[in-house]
Amino acid sequence: MSNVPNDENYHSRFMTEAFKYADEAYNIGEVPIGCVFVHNGKVVAGGRNATNETKNGTQHAELIAINKLLSPQNSTHFTPQMFKETTLYVTVEPCIMCSYALRQLGNSDSHTTLFTF
């Protein structure tokens, strides 16, 4: 688990970034889900749903962000240990597919926003 401060402003800052990705998804007709991965207090990757746009049901925000982290073009060169030290901020609870992918990568620290209607 990452060592993140127990500070509401700290978490709000990153959740706001996740909502920016969700808003981007909403504006193009996607399910409005967004996320960011944070490592050492810095956003290292983000993603938004792209299932409608790509006609591919696996293009969830979390998986897109994971692909960005694992991309050879990523200058950070993420290691398995770094995933364990990374916090995920996501606008809704990850689905079973995304939860399993996060588990396989060793990510155990996530923050979600849940709304009650």
Cα 29 to Cα 69: distance, rounded to the nearest angstrom:
25
What lies within 8 Å, CB to CB, of 104 at 6+ separation is: none
Which position has the higher pLDDT, 77 or 6? 77
Known active-site residue 24: no
All structural domains of the chain, each given as residue ranges with its CATH number in brackets, are: 8-116 (3.40.140.10)
Which position has the higher pLDDT, 46 or 73? 46
What lies within 8 Å, CB to CB, of 3 at 6+ separation is: 85
Which position has the higher pLDDT, 78 or 15? 15
Please write the tens of the pLDDT for every residue from 75-101: 777 887 888 888 899 999 999 999 999
Which position has the higher pLDDT, 12 or 61? 61
Q: Would you say 99 and 35 are in contact if contact means Cβ atoms under 8 Å apart?
A: no
Three-state secondary structure of 22-36 = HHHHHHCCCCCCEEE
Of the residues 17, 53, 62, 85, which is catalytic? 62
What lies within 8 Å, CB to CB, of 8 at 6+ separation is: none
Least confident of 22-31, 74-83, 107-116: 107-116
Mean pLDDT confidence for 54-65: 97
The pTM assigned to this predicted structure is 0.85
